[in-house]
Structure 1
Amino acid sequence: MPVHKGNIPRQSDLQRWPHLKHVNLPEIEAGIELLIGTNVSKALEPLQVIRSVNNGPYAIRTMLGWTVNGPLKGDSGDAMDCEQPELQVNRVSVVCLDELWQQQFKADFPECSMDEQIGMSRDDQKFMELVTNSAKQVNGHYQINLPLRKRDVSMQNNKKIIEQRALHLNKRLQKDSSFHADYMAIMNDLVAKGYAERVPEEDVEHSDGKVWYIPHHGIYHPTKGKTRVVFDCGARFQGTSLNAQLLQGPDLTSSLIGVVTRFRVFVANRVSEIRKASHPSQWRYVETASNPADVASRGVKVDTFLKNATWVSGPHFLLQPESEWPVSPDDALQLPSDDPEVKKAVAVNAVQVREEVDAVTRMIHYFDSWTHLRKSVAWILRFKTWLLSVCQKRRQLSMALAQSDLDTDQQRRSLEKDMETFKRKTVSSCLSVGELEKAELEIIKLRQRKRFPEEFSRLKKGKSVKGHSHIYTLCPLMEDGVLRVGGRLSRSSMPAETKHPIILAKDLHISASLLRHIHQEVGHGGRNHMLSKLRERYWITGASTAIRRVLSKCIICRQLNAQPVSQQMADLPL
């Protein structure tokens, strides 16, 4: 540490500061060997503070004694001569040996800096230059020109193929009115916000290769009930596309593959440093046989390497006059189309769907048991009902007490007493059958609305479901907010829930839980027995497949149906 014993304040130094006369500084004959860090905050906690006077020093008493801070050997007016220099410390930082090693490594090998940017290719540099020069702010939004690979790009008119795709899109819009309405709303919104504008007719008729049509289509998310329009810039016509004519640009994000292949963060950086420090006109051609870099990049055997003088002394022509140096071939600066080191533009269209899971869905997926799920939901519904009744009772009592002759404190005490009595009377220890059945219906309603949003919407409006629906053949109807099977059994004498069973999809979590529950109820019976029991109240689409999946995962059934082990008989006696 850059301090010595002369920097330690002494008792004699405090004599010229009357406000510090009560401070006692014991003198210890020892060197400065310990630095108290902020992690020992108790040792630095101030127990008493003597404030400064006339910009002088101030003192703080800690559990270790008094410490004096400030201009102890000089005041704010004129500096006093002293034997020891004053020392000011702004900050003391603690670094790790790994950090010091990395800093030293970067200083010795700056081109291998571990936190420098990834070296850019010529296409990437061109992209950044075009974006930087063309970026401008228009109506509060930034706008850039298309980063074309060639300014004089010429593309064939792809109107014919786009018209074919537009016809397919039009047929889809005509079949689905809701999809058509959503699609039109999205496109009108793009035009209204200025993201798109109508192209003048005179610009469309150009034949100079500057007209290109971008097809688009819609993607409907059945769970969220939303439509998204996708513009297909990778659509190809006569071997090219808009994406193929645009520069891809550098990847400015850190990827796992990039971290693993850092040795590639070393060659690229070397090339980048060479391009910064020189110009291609200064470069000279070196044939493979005389290039020492090929020895390291392509690899050679040890005995060949030991005999290779080029690695030590460089190409032999460097010792000759420059006029005798090799002449660059005419095609030296032309890269072949199949060069593996040239980055190719690859257009990939990807759709990522991320569904947000709400708290109720997480709770339903938490339980694998149908019984436990029903009980948990029943307790939640009871608690909800209890809270509503408590709020209503408090409101009634408050209104009644407000009309009484009691003062405010008496009203408050009476209200709390009556509420405590009401709460004790409304608490019940067991769930009733009705509460369990209500909880079951609430679970089913929630999952049906999540799984069949379009069918719910149409049936609620009094319309029938569409032909492409998975439950169209079941003639579904809605009864008390629950989707049930329709059919022609309404006049039969069977129970109502058997005539019109509840509809569930086989890919729902509650469907698997319900089938496991029925499987246990029927004593681990077979597929037909389970299906017969299921149809008494429920209709699961693709139930046979779902039942087979449950049976295949049942440990007890696998044990009961396992083939007995047969013992191999011994050889017959002679």
Structure 2
Amino acid sequence: MPVNSALVSADHATGASSECALAIVPVQIKVAKGSKTINTYAFLDPGSSATFCTENLMNQLNVRGRRTEILLRTMGQERPVKSYELTGLEVGSIDGSVYIDLPKVYTQPKIPVSKENLLNILDLEKWPYLKEIELKRIDADIEILIGINVPKAMEPWQIVNSQRNGPYAVKTVLGWVVNGPLHSCSSTNETGLISVTANRISMENLKDLLIRQYNHDFPEKDYDEKREMSVEDKLFMSIATSSVELKNGHYHLPLPFRDKDATLPNNYEMAAQRMLNLAKRFKKDSAYANEYATFMEDVLRKGYAEKVPQEQLQMSNGHVWYIPHHGVYHKQKAKLRVVFDCSCSYKGESLNSKLLQGPDLTNPLLGVLLRFRHERIAIMADIEAMYYQVRVLHHHCDFLRFLWWPQGDVNQPLEIYRMNVHLFGAVSSPSIANFALKQTGTDNSERYSSQVIDTIKHSFYVDDCLRSVASVKEAIMLTKDLREACTLGGFTLNKWVSNSGEVLETIPQNYRAPLLKQLNLDCEKPPLERALGIQWNILKDVLTFRVTVKNQAPTRRTILSIVSSIYDPLGFLSPFVLKAKQILQRLCHGKYGWDEIIPMEVMKPWQRWLAEVDQLSRFEVDRCMKPENFGFIKTAELHHFCDASELGYGTVSYLKLTDSSKNVHVTFVLGKARVIPLKRMTVPRLELAAATLAVKVDRMLRKELHMELKDSTFWTDSTVVLKYIHNQTKRFHTYVANRIAVIHNLSQPHQWRYVCSGDNPADDASRGLQIESLLNSTRWLNGPHFLTKENSEWPKIPEDLNCLSSDDVEVKREITTNYLNLQNNATTRIIEHYSSWSKLLRAVAWWLRLKKLLMLRTQRDKALVMDSKWKVEQKGLTPENLDEAEKSIIRYDQQRFFDPELTLLRKGKHIKSDSSIHKLDPILDEGILMIGGRLSKAALP
């Protein structure tokens, strides 16, 4: 059976040490809504993000989970192991007074914790300050490890702090646990083995890769239809629009609570415990501590946060929440950012669970990039600390409290602070920040030009601004006015970049990108910059690609990781990337595990493709869609080419520009290359899928290009697809009919034209290209040569597009039925008599009852007749009577029209291929013909 993979890492060195007490507590385990309970010990492991139980416990509970495979990392080594994934379990205190739902639980042969780490009474007597602790003991093994993904089990209800380097005790919902050393620090372990447990399970890495790949491959899905806001999104917008106000140069917005009277429990102790953990990290990593302190001091200095006044410290109205925080590093920048953990749960509640997320107000990345390529002069900037520029209404600030040490000195007592701004980490902050930015454009629409307002509303992707304009003068004016307008909303634009030295000269050095601040623009070469993840060579004004591949074991997971790392939202490299996607599909079809070394027959093409990745640095494409000195655009039109093969299908789109001097230029806009579905399809159907993709891409581009466009033209080398599109009379099977409906909805038949395969650039998208072929291909980036010519010189349209043969497998056959003079028996007379289905059912049911009674009487068994439920004296019809009547009608009618098929199926034979129902894969069920269809191939139990 196919095995799904999860990724688990567990570092564990077994040993016989009893030097430390671990958080082990007696519990009850049971199946949700079940009555059978198992008494066992649970190890509460806050260092684990997964929950595990033993296979023995699974057997005792008499449950069986889904087979899966997890990747165990043990002291840096990795090995896949089989496991069961269990759901629907509950853990409770040993007295059964409280139960907690468990998330997915993964089985292992044993839990890597010894009962020697269980504190005994003698150990407890050594520490008098723990004498009030009540520890319960049972005769059982440690059968379950509960990770941090069960926060209710971890929440500290009461803490007895450590004294003289001894253990400390924590009361949880499951009972008291004791942690820490049991002897002095100088004692040694005779065995030399130390027991260390640190388990991790992370399905997010794989999940994120798959989601990222899907969103990259299928962006047109967001344009399929107009999406209405949800009820919660409408509530968010109502709160934002009714509450927003501009004060002291910044927009003020409330925390958008689901419930306006929301309250939260006091979680100070939990936040303080997190700070103790952070202090340990600081002591181990001084560089991390210094960067963290610098960030926090910057937050306080700029007024993003403030110390809570003494008289407000003891608030108890449920409007206080302490947010733990931690530091993360940017992937491309060696810079630490402090993230506030608004999802952290205490007693089952968190700040994020109380907040509305809000609608996605971020501009589509694809649109921002496309418009960035419009004109010759490009500018790029970044909003400084975007989220922190939007202030929180004062009465909500205490929901954003946090703990910190004065000057970051962990030797000083913790102090209480609160944020005055919306946080990086709150689920609502992205929508809040985007709302405030767009509000800046709305509120200043009469003070600034439409170009400035359009830039504010449509040229930002989160905090990054990308815009292109026609001239240096226009760019200088735009940068000046844009900076002023954004400042009015509290947003400061910095890290300015431009391909024009003249534009950069007008921007103060301290507002330029870091690498451009000290640059002598007259003689020094500008560096590479990143434009929404794409490398931009400012000097040459080209977009480039560079992929760094780490030396990793060749598995499905690593291949997916490498393929996903090629960031190419516009699809310039899609024919090359398709080759790797085909390798992934082969592995998927072969049902190889995510962490299984790929077989040799796949290894060779993978190594060949991998060897070519370094050559991607040679690939360059002009950032601007127009060549230098190209005149005023008179007309612009999109041309979409589509194609499919037995290897893949795809599209490529070009923009044909004509200036006032009748100069013509064709430029690449967007490419898509996809593998074919795992379930094999005919090439005509794949060609139709490619054509459907082309019209969806057209709708997407017409919305995002923000240009005046003539009618689009669609090109395919499939005359079958063209005949389907031009057909007016034939009826198609469902697959074809649905896609033709989409094509007709988004285009007109006259927009579709024929191109021979040799001139179709989408052929590259359907088959893939090696890197050298891609680098040397002019057809892929520039389109076929005839696009630059007059329409009269385009390939001729076939003359027989309206002549679609009735023998085409996708055309529904028209069945002519001749009336047969069937035997006019009782059933026929009853069926012909009634026009109402319900009345017919009842009549047939009564008739069947009478028939049954007469049959019984012929057997002269009066006792059976008197006792039979079919006797005439019985009052009313039962549901069973009506059900049998319905089946009887169906059997009778099927016998009239499908007698040969029924005869063959009753004999266990296959029906003939010329039967009208052969494609439906019919089966017999209770003597009734049923459609077999796809269910026979489904993975059903």
TM-score of the superposition, structure 1-length normalised?
A: 0.25
- The structure whose residues are more often helix, as a share, is 1
- The structure whose residues are more often strand, as a share, is 2
